[in-house]
Structure 1
């Protein structure tokens, strides 16, 4: 999102004023503005998910209309054969590109998961390292490794 926009999902003077005016005019408008301020940054992901879902739903409709229009011939057998082959090749190319996109999304998802796991492991190591001297002094100098200290 454009961070220089006057009305953006953040606590800016403009959004606060719109929220207050919304509550004064009609209270659901105020709540709508409050929801936009709090959760508006998630709208892009929500819109992307909705678009992907509707694309999946209407994919069959597009294929059916595409096939219906492909069945109309020009009367020239050679041209119609060439057209069929080209349309089949384009379908294969589209499927290949869709598979590549899905593979990349899976790769990016795994990369984010690995990064999150690395950050979590680093956090736990720092936490255990900072808790180790305090735990050792409580037990009289004895230190046992583990997350669940008694």
Structure 2
């Protein structure tokens, strides 16, 4: 009697043709989605309308999906090793240098903002002091004119 239990991984159903079409259009980018929508409007307008609704609902129409997809692809490859240690060291040094330059530039911009804010505040205070002194000067001149008369 054979009492061994066999474990098998759960069966994953094959992708439907809609899922495959969606994956194919995603791989081609936003232009493929727009072309499919336009062709849908030309040949079967309800299909074009359905694609437009789906693109808006899934944020494919107005999102930056192409940029995000390429950034993800490049981000993954930037973190992985190329297999060449000299290149990997060069890449790491370059990325570190660019991050340092970005930090320095952001610090520079912050100092510029602070200097501009200080200059604007100093100008405000000077205008306020002039405005406060102006009525006093006007009172002094009118007071002296009435004494002379």
The normalised TM-score by structure 2 is: 0.43
The normalised TM-score by structure 1 is: 0.43
Between structure 1 and structure 2, the one with the greater Rg is: 2
